[in-house]
Amino acid sequence: MFVKKVRQRLEWYRHAHAKDMPIHAIARLIQTMLYARRFFPYYVYNILGGIEEDGTGAVYSFDPVGSYEREACRAAGAAQSLVQPFLDNQIYFKNQTPAPGRPFPTHLTIEHVVDLVIDSFTSATERHIEVGDGLEIYVVFSRASENVQAITNRFYGSIQELTATRDGERVFVIRQELKKD
Amino acid sequence: MASPSVFKSPGFDFSNQLRNNFLAEKGLPLPKATSTGTTIVGCLFKDGIVLGADTRATEGEIVADKNCEKIHYITDSIRCCGAGTAADTEFTTALISSNMELHALHTGRKPRVVTAMTMLKQMLFRYQGHVGAALVLGGVDSSGPHLFTIHPHGSTDKLPYVTMGSGSLAAMAVFESQWKPNMERQEALDLVISAISAGIFNDLGSGSNVDACIITANHTEMLRNVEMPNERVKKERNYKFRRGTTAWKKEEIRKLVIDEQVTTLATGDEMDTS
């Protein structure tokens, strides 16, 4: 329901301003929409992901009443206490010392990141009873990205493109099965 | 209250009750006991009894043990599946198993299923449901095969097919559509496996593998992990850490051997086996 309302606001913006709403603006919009119901909040934990105006990938996470922050990675939901520490270690390299002379990379490849996401979910499924059945990963590529081919080859069969045109940003869905017990 | 005496009276110790109630009032809840969540079943067939159980133990929503054993030994021809609080089912079945052995030696006869059932129900009733053990007891004795279900408050039912635990509805749905009297061994085993699988896939509190136990007049066969429909897929990446990944601030090596003197015995190195 909340996502439906956000989608509506994005359409109003497009009609009013003749352009798509940039991600940082959508994040601010979501904050105001959530805080407007400060005393009868939406029971939603949002994570917004997309491509910023400057072409970089952005992840914004929100609490139910609108507090938000841009981050490199965030896990939310039932198994967040299992997955967030794993991400902190593998994405931010927390609690790890790099090998001398080989500092940790600042950006990871798309294949590396999708592997981490899949492993996070299979691990969460093992130990949390409410996690499982299936997984959908949405991947958003910026206009000039050369990494699209790597992902479409790797997941041939389970990947599907959602964007109609090949120029501009491209969005893909990867579907995977998870344990059903 | 803490007493200087070393002697501990048998049974439960309620000395922490006052403190626990105080803490609960202040907002600190009691820690969650490991509960088996669970799907357990028992089924009568032509030659005896088939018992079945899943293998997941939960602590709230987290899986504590992915492959625990829920079919407990009572005697050679009697087994008991346990659902509810894991510690309660473990200790209750172990106690009754021990008492059954003593009883068999005392009477000089092979133990009967009704004896185990009576011991269990009398103990559970005495604890007024506080011992959270829901059991499916089955076995073959001199008077034939018997299958019972025992609830935490002490009530029992004698039935040809039973299910207990959070997955009992899913398993019972399978039993009610496919159970028939005088089934063959393989038919009964397949039915039990499919009932437990229904629990595993449809109930959040049950999962992982299927255990089964087939008890007949002259033989008991324990089929641990007879079906393993939930093996973990191979991980996408290898998470081995380089040696030296964990930082340390201080290093102190203490030599514990101060002085070492080796004295060879005149007899040589061989062990004296005379």
Q: pLDDT tens across A62-91, in order?
A: 999 999 999 999 999 999 999 999 999 999
Residue B177 vs residues A104, A163, B173: alpha-carbon distances, Å: 59, 47, 6
Mean pLDDT to the nearest integer, A109-124: 95
State pLDDT tens for residues B119-139. 999 999 999 999 999 999 999
Across the strands, what pairs with B220?
Answer: B215
**Is B86 in contact with B36 (CB distance < 8 Å)?**
yes
The label of the residue with tokens 């009398």 reads B122
Output A88-94 pairs: Cβ under 8 A, ≥24 positions apart.
A90/A116, A90/B239, A91/A116
B24: number of Cβ within 10 Å = 11
Q: Which residue has the higher pLDDT, A156 or A12?
A: A12
The full 3-state SS of B50-75, as one line of letters, equals EEEECCCEEECCEEEECCCCCEEEEE
pLDDT at residue B36 above 70? Answer: no
State pLDDT tens for residues B60-84. 899 999 999 999 999 999 999 999 9
pLDDT value of residue B265: 77
Residue B212 vs residues B51, B66, B173, B190: alpha-carbon distances, Å: 6, 16, 19, 10
pLDDT at residue B268 above 80? Answer: no
How near does any CA of chain B get to the CA of A138, in Å?
Answer: 18
* Residue B240: band (very low, low, confident or very high) from pLDDT cuts 50, 70, 90: very high
B232 vs A: CB within 8 A: yes
pLDDT value of residue B9: 67
How near does any CA of chain A get to the CA of B196, in Å?
Answer: 11
pLDDT at residue B145 above 90? Answer: yes
pLDDT value of residue B248: 86
A180 vs B: CB within 8 A: yes
State pLDDT tens for residues B106-120. 999 999 999 999 999
How near does any CA of chain A get to the CA of B39, in Å?
Answer: 12
pLDDT value of residue B264: 82
Which among B41, B56, B70 has a CA at the least distance from the CA of B149? B41
pLDDT at residue B52 above 70? Answer: yes
pLDDT at residue B53 above 70? Answer: yes
pLDDT at residue A129 above 90? Answer: yes
* Residue B23: band (very low, low, confident or very high) from pLDDT cuts 50, 70, 90: confident
A71: number of Cβ within 10 Å = 13
pLDDT value of residue B22: 85
* Residue A167: band (very low, low, confident or very high) from pLDDT cuts 50, 70, 90: confident
* Residue A101: band (very low, low, confident or very high) from pLDDT cuts 50, 70, 90: confident
Token readout for B189 is: 């085993």
**Is A128 in contact with B36 (CB distance < 8 Å)?**
no
Q: Name the residue among B230, B233, B244 with its Cβ closest to that of A181.
A: B230
A102 vs B: CB within 8 A: no
pLDDT value of residue A65: 95
pLDDT value of residue B5: 63
CA dihedral A142, A143, A149, A155 (to 10 degrees): 40
pLDDT value of residue B54: 95
Subunit contact B232:A99, Cβ cutoff 8 A = no
**Is B135 in contact with B117 (CB distance < 8 Å)?**
no
How many degrees, rounded to 5, is the angle at CA A87 between CA A86 and CA A93? 95
Helix (H) or strand (E) holding A77: none
Which among B185, B174, B179, B187 has a CA at the least distance from the CA of B159? B179
**Is A87 in contact with A176 (CB distance < 8 Å)?**
no
d(Cα A36, Cα A30) in Å, to the nearest integer? 10
pLDDT at residue A172 above 90? Answer: yes
- The strand pair at B156-158 and B220-227 is best described as unpaired
Helix (H) or strand (E) holding A111: helix A110-127
d(Cα A62, Cα B227) in Å, to the nearest integer? 43
d(Cα A174, Cα A155) in Å, to the nearest integer? 7
Give the up-direction half-sphere exposure of residue B210: CA atoms within 13 A in the CB hemisphere: 25
The label of the residue with tokens 């290093």 reads B251
pLDDT at residue B16 above 60? Answer: yes
Mean pLDDT to the nearest integer, A23-45: 96
Residue of B nearest to A121 (CA): B235
pLDDT at residue B274 above 80? Answer: no
Backbone φ and ψ of B123, nearest 5°: -70, -45
Backbone φ and ψ of B126, nearest 5°: -60, -35
Instruction: Find which of B62, B166, B202, B231 to mutate to test the A interface (most A CBs within 10 Å of its CB).
Output: B62
A95 vs B: CB within 8 A: yes
* Residue B35: band (very low, low, confident or very high) from pLDDT cuts 50, 70, 90: low
A97 vs B: CB within 8 A: yes
B205 vs A: CB within 8 A: yes
B202 vs A: CB within 8 A: no
pLDDT value of residue B147: 96
Percent of chain A whose pLDDT exceeds 90: 82
Subunit contact A96:B245, Cβ cutoff 8 A = yes
Residue of A nearest to B229 (CA): A181
pLDDT value of residue A121: 97
Annotated catalytic, B38?
yes
Across the strands, what pairs with A175?
Answer: A136
Catalytic residue among B34, B36, B38, B107: B38
How many cross-chain Cβ pairs, A to B, lie less than 8 Å apart?
Answer: 55
Backbone φ and ψ of A16, nearest 5°: -75, -35
How near does any CA of chain B get to the CA of A87, in Å?
Answer: 12
State pLDDT tens for residues B168-221. 999 999 999 999 999 999 999 999 999 999 999 999 999 999 999 999 999 999
**Is A79 in contact with A121 (CB distance < 8 Å)?**
no
Q: Does the complex come out with an ipTM higher than 0.95?
A: no
